[in-house]
Structure 1
């Protein structure tokens, strides 16, 4: 009796990052780490289907063994059948961010958050802080590699 052998295909994740302005990034990856509203979430191939809200934060994508970092400014992510689609409010690659400018903006945003008074000012300062922190984090990740 001859047994049939199933072929196993090692398909990577297909990732699409879309912003209101344009398709930001498309490609294959082995892994993606998303900044969700409930914390960081890693996605590997054959992940269970999920829809999640994205927070403002750093996102990592591993392609061919190397990590690429991006600042994501909120949105949604859909994971289904090895396809990850991000609908992001804004996205920025660590390669386009000036590290010194990001560090200065982070320090200033932190200072402004500490000084903010009143609910509206605190909410605005907190959003500016999260945005500056995301940009600063992706530059720090790039400089570590």
Structure 2
């Protein structure tokens, strides 16, 4: 059996396919979904959604959101996302280095700047991880 998987951002549908397995970056850790999974709704963190289709793994870097699982359908609503296959690995590593340097350069009293730099670092890390499905 398979799961219907949809990943939707405000401006586009990133993914609409069937898969045998999905791994979500939930707010409580990695969450694996197989067919006949119990219904659930989960908050998602910035991270990598992985899915297995035809015995091959693929990935999408996500910037937070929510996932609903019901009757072998996984619907993921995110702020933004990028297919791992469309990410330039070299550029993603460079952006990760830049994000790490930016966070290191934030002054301790700049709480807002620190939050923004940490978010940018999480997304840069997710983009690098998404370039290698598994």
TM-score calculated relative to the size of structure 2: 0.94
Runs of 4 or more consecutive aligned structure 1 residues displaced over 3 Å after TM superposition:
none
In structure 2, the partner of 1:122 is 114
Match of 2:23 among 33, 44, 63: 33
Provide the rounded CA distance (Å) in 2 between the counterparts of 1:14 and 1:129.
31
Match of 1:45 among 25, 35, 39: 35
Shift in Å at residue 115 of structure 1?
2.0
Gaps of 5+ in 1: 1-10
SS at match of 1:46: coil
Asked if 1:91 is matched to 2:81, the reply is yes
Could you say which structure has the greater relative contact order, defined with CA pairs below 8 angstroms and 6 or more residues apart? 2
Asked if 1:24 is matched to 2:10, the reply is no
RMSD over aligned CA atoms reads: 1.1
SS at match of 1:95: helix
Provide the rounded CA distance (Å) in 2 between the counterparts of 1:26 and 1:128.
27
Count of residue correspondences: 132
